[in-house]
Amino acid sequence: MANVVVVGAQWGDEGKGKIVDWLSERADIVVRYQGGHNAGHTLVIGGTTYKLSLLPSGVVRPGKLGIIGNGVVVDPWALGDEIARLAKQGVTITRDNLRIAENATLILPLHRELDQMRESAAGDGKIGTTGRGIGPAYEDKVGRRAIRVQDLKNLGTLGPKVDRILVHHNALRRGLDQPQISKEALMAQLIEVAPKILPYMDVTWELLDQARRSGKRILFEGAQGALLDIDHGTYPFVTSSNTVAAQAATGSGVGPHALGNILGIAKAYTTRVGSGPFPTEQSNDIGEQLGQRGHEFGTVTGRKRRCGWFDACLVRQTIKVTGITGIALTKLDVLDGFPELKVSVGYMLDGERIDRLPAGHNAQARVQPIYETFKGWTQSTRGARSWTQLPAEAVKYVKTIEELIECPVTLLSTSPERDDTILMRDPFQD
């Protein structure tokens, strides 16, 4: 059996929550390997809706272990709120079903404040951050001044690390004409939050190595999509971590050989939250219709998603960059009833055809999509669980997408319900 990495093949919000939940029934361990609580997953199980942002999706299933890996930045206050919220829905989080990497970086209140202050000061130059402190926390990690989970064990010797992080942050706050933070105030926050997170701390790389050697199936759960990757995304309108599949190894402490199959998740159309280029965006009735039918609002932020046609050129690019071996195509049912559908097969840039999205954001903003048009279908695909239940035009649409993205569609989702899924190939099979 193979382990599986799930990665978004667009700008996030591709429906990973349902797919990860569907796969987690077959897995023993589910690992979050990057991002923070800025990414939301909505799970619908037995009529109950669970909204997760930091916890791995497997925690809502009995007998599964969820791991927050070292590549994740952890807001312990947000984590405590999420655990309390799930408890009200009958899901108890204990050390039996959750472990957190001892070397994961903490998001502190000063990170959230800096994130919001800088975005507010940016005016028209906003990146579109969620304001949750993810970017500043990753900056401190790379700057080697972060407070990590394991530091909470030894608060009595934490003074020099607190001094180091405050030298940096107070200089920034002075520049933004904001009050400085005292060492005593930050220490009090750390003392207050330590008991909320330390019970879950573990040497998770070792735990994963033991699980792999014993033949357990591991599901590596990505947060945002590949197009938000700090290196390979639509920079600078990206997140602050690597979101491609290779990060599953670095962000959890396993070797690349342990990753197995790479399952990319893509919607049958395209959405994006926040600022940045979006070649196939439909700022018209079609975009509104896609948004209303698809309930396109962010799980965590509630922000309205921008909507547009499927971009085969862009998905093909992310498949190659991130090593995707199969695509899970979601929300096919949202396209029911459209008389015609369009798919971008390439771009025109300054009078020249290109088959990739350029790296420069000015060039990205100038590309014009080249569309192929397809006949739509009037029958409903919602809830279909086999190819025979799909109209011929819908089957043709999926098969054409396979050809254009140069990758097989191995799983097809036709509603938010986990069982409304057509499986062509089990990702856990070698």
Left, alpha or beta for 259 (phi > 0: left; psi -120 to 50: alpha)? Answer: alpha
- Predicted pLDDT of residue 120: 79
pTM: 0.92
- List, as one string, the DSSP characters of 26-64: T-SEEEE-SB-TT--EEEEETTEEEEESSS-GGGGSTT-
351: left (phi over 0), alpha (psi -120 to 50) or beta: left
- Displacement of CA 348 from its chain's centroid (Å): 29
The catalytic position among 13, 21, 333, 420 is 13
**Which is more confident, 341 or 42?**
341
* Listed ranges 20-34, 176-190, 410-424; the one with the highest mean pLDDT: 176-190
Q: Is 311 a catalytic residue?
A: no
Write the single-letter amino acid at 276: G
Confidence band of 48 (pLDDT split at 50, 70, 90): confident
Rounded to whole angstroms, how far apart are CA atoms 255 and 250? 8
pLDDT attached to residue 102? 98
Residue 111 reports pLDDT greater than 80: yes
For residue 122, what are the CA distances in angstroms to 110, 119, 127, 129, 176?
A: 18, 5, 8, 11, 11
Q: Quick one: pLDDT at residue 130?
A: 73
Summarised one tens digit per residue, pLDDT across range 299-324 is: 556 678 999 999 999 999 999 999 99
Lowest pLDDT segment from 52-66, 148-162, 271-285: 52-66
pLDDT digits (tens, 9 = 90+) for 243-290: 999 999 999 999 999 999 999 999 999 999 888 999 999 999 999 999
Instruction: Report residue 197: phi and psi, to 5°.
Output: -120, -30
Report the pLDDT value the prediction gives residue 298, as an integer from 0 to 100. Answer: 66
The answer to whether 13 is a known catalytic residue is yes
Using DSSP's 3-state secondary structure scheme, residue 391 falls into coil
Residue 412 CB-half CA count within 13 A:
25
Among residues 21, 28, 37, 41, which one is catalytic?
41
